[in-house]
Chains A and B, each alone.
Chain A
Amino acid sequence: MSDEATIEVRDLHKRFGQTVALDGLSFTVRPGQVTGFVGPNGAGKSTTMRVILGLDAVEQGSALIGGRPYRSLRRPLSRVGSLLDAGALHPSRSGRNHLLWLAHSQGLSARRVDQVVEQAGLQGIARRKAGGYSLGMRQRLGLAAAMLGDPPILLLDEPFNGLDPEGIVWMRGFLRELAAQGRAVFVSSHLMGELQDMADHLVVIGRGRLVADTSVAELLAAASRGLVRLRTAQPAQAATVLSEAGATVVAGGPDTLTVSGLASERVVELLGQHSVPFAEVSVHRASLEDAYMELTREAVEFRAAAAQEAPR
């Protein structure tokens, strides 16, 4: 029996007219961790989320919540909380009333509304018309709406959009806390940097296909492997020495080289033997951003080429 708080996506295929949006996408979102859902704009992230929520139909495949399709769930907001578009508000309705109708649809009380208003830090503005909210306030309101049913699964599309740095820190902490409570938190972003220090697991897609389904720790280790950073006042001389020893050397700045194919200890040894002065030798630690760029380069290049061939 599937876990109540698991999203299982299997072999999704969907096209919009001629455009293939999802092309055999499969992955699993598990409870107790933040799963980042990453891909360039147009990769199919929002479509996948809509499919999971039973809003869009697919030609093939299934998306199941705890083993059942979303559209068959009773009181769905207490199973899955979602934030697809922070702008999905009626501008003349107050934030609190927006939450109130949602609560009423699930038989939840106005007291619960006040709880999530407080949780999302919206006390000051909840009774104002939503039309006057900043994007950051709307994201908080959307999060409050997702939290209404106190669900074990949260599904958030680009929740960091429009947040100020303080808001980003708050959102990260909030989502980490939710995962720590044992909830499955599924967060999409087109910027890998936003997920740094927050996501435990990553689902990376491009052109509607799965590019990677991996833990963040593994991904970083893979991307960092074998790279050594060298700072030296004589980069040309250092490059010659290291190349002769069989390393690949790339200039990273006026006095910085990135070396691959040699361990850091061997680099220090060789430079010493040839009396090349150096200021620092360090094992390069790839950022999540670097790892992501590496993963999606292929997809991005394809898109750029396609765009050039057939300009719209």
Chain B
Amino acid sequence: MSETPAPYRSELPAGRDGFAQLLRAEWTKLHTVRGWMVALVAAGLLIVLMAAVATFHQQTSVQAGPDSPVVAAHPFVPHGPSGEAVTDSFYFVHQALVGDGSITVRVSSLTGDIAQTYNSHSTSQGEQLASTRPGLVPWAKAGLIVKQGTTQGSPYAALMVTGSHGVRLQYNYTHDIAGSPGAVSAASPRWLRLSRSGDLLTGSESSDGRHWTRVGSARLAGLSETVQAGLFVTSPATRPSTQAFSSPSGSSASAVFDHVGLEGQWSKRAWSGVAVGAGTVTPTLTSGSYQQSGGIFAVSGSGDIAPAVDVGSTPADTLAGLFVGLIVVIVLGALFMTAEYRRGLIRTTLAASPRRGRVLAAKVLVLSSVTFAVGLVATTIAVPLGEHLLRVNGNYLYPVGVLSEVRVVAGTAALLALAAILALALGTVLRRSAGAIVAVIAAIVLPNVLVITAALPLAASQWLLRLTPAAGLAIQQTLTAYPQVDYAYSPARGYFPLAPWAGFAVLCAYAALALGLAVVLLRRRDA
């Protein structure tokens, strides 16, 4: 029709389309949908709010005497040499040892009683004793102990026979070395020897008092020159491990010792008996006693020398709002991608940025940074706030190192970011909001709800938290499970089957896998 004009030349200043521009574009997309930003801020506020609500109702109170006022406080929990919460109650027949030396003894009997009705801290001893049956709990302990003093929580090393775990050398509450197996009886007594050389304690055992086998040794850093050493007996409360929330019931143990041999500079006074930690946290059947007749000692005691369980709260207990937060970021993560598919906006995006892998990378980076930042602000407020409220309400908080506290706070924010990434990746794969949201909630939130509500058997819960993305919640774990304490170490109580970073790595692996699949499909498929 008309003369063809010269080809068009734009006078617009040339822009750039690097990764930084792509990041800015995705950030603009995210923050210009008001509903998304409102939801994110609301999720952060909810996490803080839930920290206050969840901890507000949890109150512990004690009453010093019948006429004393009830005050918000918790029973005394001793701390071990490295600051951990411990149980330290046992019957101790002791005298002072100055400098190096050793003590040898023969144990010829270990028997016990187990309370048949549940009892609590306040039940009187008379009642408990009235309803016992003979029986020895697996971790009933009797043997030799060298301890800094009779103060609860002080350093120690102990060589012992146990109810059903054979000879053990245990020290400073968390350490446990196995000796020979087998139970003790008059027919098969066990000889024990504990030697001190400076701060090194060495345990040996023998079946005949002539041929000795070394069990192990323990270095107790900073052990004072004068220590208290002697015989001890204790027996921990039993917890029916099949019933997650049942109360523990007390037990007691009695042992017969003879052939006591001392080397080194002992105080040479008569032995004295003391019930260390009587009436503290662990339910006890008896405060313990001892009788000496010639060279034979009959000692009974109750309690445990071990890490404490079931006595307090953890930082994770303040983060009850995490599930709501997770659901919000999962929905947001999925929508950040699927909203584009729903309306064909993805074509506009990919026409503007044809390098598809980079588009996904930009989306992931923007989404994870924003969810992490919001999560971090929320948890940084929620955890200290919740802990403060728990403390004010008289609850005991397990001692948690600064690094662990930071791990819980930052790790929880990272959980939110990873959940969002998983949802984004799955949204890319499925291209549908509903499917992606349901799948990720089922993978992360559902296993945790099942686990927390103890709806599943313990073993099933633990497998769920090993194999599903929910394993990532282990990053909140601040408690350690010790095999030398019988306890239902369930996720509901804060014990995860995987170590914090191992569980976190499982979630990361899922996110990486989903992202890899998303990149491949996004590149291969028609938009």
Q: Does A225 contact B (CB under 8 A)?
A: no
Listed stretches A93-101, A186-194, A230-238, A268-276; interface member: A93-101
CA of A3 to CA of B9 in the docked complex: distance in angstroms? Answer: 12
What 1/0 flags go to A70-86 for Cβ under 8 Å of B?
11111111101010110
Contact assessment for A53 and B351 in the assembled complex, using a CB-CB cutoff below 8 Å: yes
> Is the pair B35, A3 in contact by a Cβ cutoff of 8 Å?
no
**Whole-angstrom distance between the alpha carbons of A54 and B349 in the complex?**
12
Q: How far is the CB of A61 from chain B (nearest CB, A)?
A: 15
**B 47-103 contacts with A by CB, 8 A:** none
A24 sits at the interface (CB 8 A): no
Bound together, the chains give a CA A87 to CA B355 distance in angstroms of 23
Cβ contact within 8 Å between B17 and A31: no
CB-CB under 8 A from A31, the residues of chain B are 4, 7-8
On whether the beta carbons of B348 and A102 are closer than 8 Å, the reply is yes
Q: Compute the total of residue contacts between A and B using a CB distance below 8 Å.
A: 147
Separation of A105 and B350 alpha carbons in the complex (Å): 11
A106-114, A167-175, A243-251 - the one binding chain B: A106-114
Smallest distance from the beta carbon of B269 to chain A beta carbons, Å?
84
Q: Say if the beta carbon of A263 comes within 8 Å of chain B.
A: no
Given contacts A31-B4, A182-B5, contact A82 B351 (CB under 8 A): yes
Interface of A is mostly: loop
Closest to B350 in A: A55
Chain A nearest CB: distance from B358 CB in Å? 11
A53 near B352: Cβ-Cβ < 8 Å:
no
Given A32-B7, A76-B352, A104 and B28 contact (CB-CB distance below 8 Å): yes
Looking at B18-26, B164-172, B212-220, the stretch in contact with chain A turns out to be B18-26
Query: Considering the chains assembled together, what is the distance between the CA atoms of A31 and B26 in angstroms?
Result: 33
Q: Are B21 and A71 in contact (CB under 8 A)?
A: no
Are B10 and A105 touching (Cβ within 8 A)? no
With A53-B351, A105-B352 known as contacts, the answer to whether A33 contacts B4 (CB < 8 A) is yes
Chain A 263-302: CB-based contact to B (< 8 A → 1; otherwise 0): 0000000000000000000000000000000000000000
Q: Is the pair A149, B354 in contact by a Cβ cutoff of 8 Å?
A: no
A11 to B480, CA, bound (A): 67
Name A88's contact: one of B15, B17, B345 (CB within 8 Å): B345
Interface size on B, residues (CB 8 A): 43
* Inter-subunit contact B32/A88 (CB<8 Å): no
B455 within 8 A of A: no
Residues in chain A near residue B18, CB distance under 8 A: 107
Q: Is the CB of B15 within 8 A of A149?
A: yes
Knowing A149-B12, A152-B8 are in contact, say whether A102-B354 is a contact too (CB < 8 A).
no
With A75-B14, A78-B15, A101-B29 already in contact, the answer to whether A180 and B354 are too (CB < 8 A) is no
Q: How far is the CA of A150 from the CA of B11 in the complex (A)?
A: 8
Nearest CB on B from A202, distance (A): 12
Shortest beta-carbon distance from A183 to chain B in Å: 4
A60 near B: Cβ within 8 Å?
A: no
Q: CB within 8 A of B348: which of A73, A88, A97?
A: A88
Most chain B Cβ neighbours within 10 Å, of A101, A108, A149: A101
Is B134 interfacial (CB 8 A cutoff)? Answer: no
Q: Does A89 interact with chain B (Cβ within 8 Å)?
A: yes
> Contact at A53–B21, with CB atoms within 8 Å?
no
Q: A50-B347, A50-B526, A87-B343 are in contact. Are A78 and B8 (CB under 8 A)?
A: no
A63: min CB distance to chain B, Å: 13
How near does chain B come to A100, taking the closest CB pair, in angstroms? Answer: 6
Q: How far, in whole Å, are A182 and B8 apart by their CA atoms in the complex?
A: 4
**Docked CA distance A54–B527 (Å):** 9
CB-nearest residue of chain B relative to A85?
Answer: B344
Whether A84 contacts B347 by the Cβ 8 Å rule is yes
Contacts of A149 in B (CB 8 A): 10, 12, 15
7 additional A-B pairs beyond A56-B527, A107-B16, A150-B11, beta carbons within 8 Å, are A50-B527, A57-B526, A75-B17, A76-B353, A78-B15, A97-B32, A150-B10
Some 8 contacts from A to B, beta carbons below 8 A apart, are: A32-B7, A77-B351, A106-B17, A107-B17, A108-B12, A149-B15, A183-B8, A217-B1
By Cβ-Cβ distance, the 3 closest A-B pairs, closest first, are A107-B15, A107-B16, A105-B25
